[in-house]
Amino acid sequence: MTKLLMETEKRIPTHVSIIMDGNGRWAKERGMERTKGHIAGVESVRACTIAAIEEGVKYLSFFAFSEENWGRPEGEVNSLMKLMFESMQKEFEMFVREGVRFVVIGDRERLGSTMCGVIDNVMEATKNNDRLTFILFISYSGKWDIHQAARKMAADMAAHPEKEISEADFGNYLATAGIPDPDLLIRTSGEKRISNYMLWQLAYTELLSTPVLWPDFGKEDFKAALDEYAKRDRRYGKVK
């Protein structure tokens, strides 16, 4: 029976993370402004969320805005912030209805109080939901995360010099504390780089790069990525 189950059941990743990329190119191909690509990309987030719930994925995270993205033209930064702000409010009902816990991770200091207010409201209202944890990384970078974790750890060590801090304990200082490391990382638009995303947490994540531009990435693409993941042999440096 156990053997039969192993042969027939698809291995589902617990945490799928996505670097959504290619919105600008998608818009350019259509002779539109870059912002139109970001707007179209919201539909892909929705499609992946539904697919993740259907497939039993427990954590779904998106790299929505990097620390480096603050360096884009002011108009694009503002329209991205507005889009995220409005989308959180719009999707709130769906999160409640579908039992989705909403989480935002990133450098809050750069986001402003209005944005943080909405984030806090939606996080608080959905905190007990456990069907899917939906995470948006906003104003986030992997180096920022490791740096802020090291600072917190140093302060803790100064206050409690006797304290032993293991590798696992270090993970608890990261902004992602309590969230399992990603099993699968998808990056759209054909790029093959991490772009300063979760540097610590991606240590043993399976990587998948697809040429599909983010606004074209739908439910079927998400499910195909899960099929590809199911075929991967995760060895963690050992011999099988």
Query: Taking CB under 6 A as the rule, does residue 225 contact ligand IPE?
Result: no
Long-range contact pairs involving 46-50 (C-beta distance under 8 Å, separation at least 24): 46/91, 46/94, 47/217, 47/218, 47/219, 47/222, 48/18, 48/217, 48/219, 48/222, 49/94, 49/100, 49/132, 49/134, 50/219
Per the annotation, the verdict on 172 as an active-site residue is no
β-strands 184-187, 100-105: how paired? unpaired
Query: Taking CB under 5 A as the rule, does residue 183 contact Mg ion?
Result: no
**CA dist., res. 152 & res. 224, Å (int):** 40
**Rounded least distance, CB 20 to Mg ion, Å:** 9
Q: Which of 161, 181, 177, 179 is nearest to 169 (CA)?
A: 177
Q: Which is nearer to Mg ion, 41 or 106 (by Cβ)?
A: 41
Residues 79-108 binding ligand IPE (CB under 6 A) are 80
Task: Name the β-bridge partners of 132.
Answer: 100
**CA dist., res. 4 & res. 14, Å (int):** 22
Query: Taking CB under 5 A as the rule, does residue 26 contact Mg ion?
Result: no
The single residue of 21, 23, 145, 183 carrying the catalytic annotation is 21
**Rounded least distance, CB 110 to ligand IPE, Å:** 14
By CB under 6 A, which span of 2-10, 64-72, 109-117, 154-162 interacts with ligand IPE? Answer: 64-72
Query: Given candidates 17, 35, 61, 65, which one binds ligand IPE under the rule CB under 6 A?
Result: 65
**Rounded least distance, CB 145 to Mg ion, Å:** 20
Query: Given candidates 35, 44, 49, 66, which one binds ligand IPE under the rule CB under 6 A?
Result: 66
DSSP 111: T
Query: Taking CB under 6 A as the rule, does residue 61 contact ligand IPE?
Result: no
Residues making contact with ligand IPE (CB under 6 A): 19-25, 63-66, 69, 80, 189, 191, 193, 195, 214
